[in-house]
Amino acid sequence: MTKPVFALSLELDHGETSFEPGGRVAGVAAWSVSAPLSGMELRLKWTSRGQGGRDIKIADTIALPEPQPTEKRPFILTLPEAPFSMQGALISVSWELELVALPVEEKATVAITIAPGRRPIVLSATAPSHI
């Protein structure tokens, strides 16, 4: 028995991957699969990582029902106001768009930044000298 083939991709308009909070992201979700699918989903999710471990939250989901074996579908998502993309020694928050083939959970992802000025916030590791 041959293994099913999954070719999934996400292309963002103008190749843009950095956005202002509350902005909009547009692009095309594309796939070519050799196995039957019950659906496709486009998920916007964020991950926080820190000393307490990792936490993943899905901020939005767009259902792409009745997918054909080979297809391209445009999408537009309004991004949330928070949390901001950030990097620090104690905690970091990162965002990504994820195209998911259901029910097999094959995925394609694109990392994005959501922050004022379209740049991740860099948290300083220095502590105040007095409290």
* CATH architecture under which domain 6-119 falls: Sandwich (2.60)
Cα distance between residue 87 and residue 85, in whole Å? 7
What are the residue boundaries of the structural domains of the chain, listed by start? 6-119
b/e for 71-85, b at 16 or more Cβ within 10 A? eebebebebbeebbb
pLDDT tens for 121-130 read: 998 866 554 5
What are the tens digits of pLDDT across the range 68-117?
A: 999 999 999 999 999 999 999 889 999 999 999 998 889 999 999 999 99
pTM of the predicted model, to two decimals?
A: 0.86
Percent helix, strand, coil in the chain (nearest 5)? 5, 60, 35
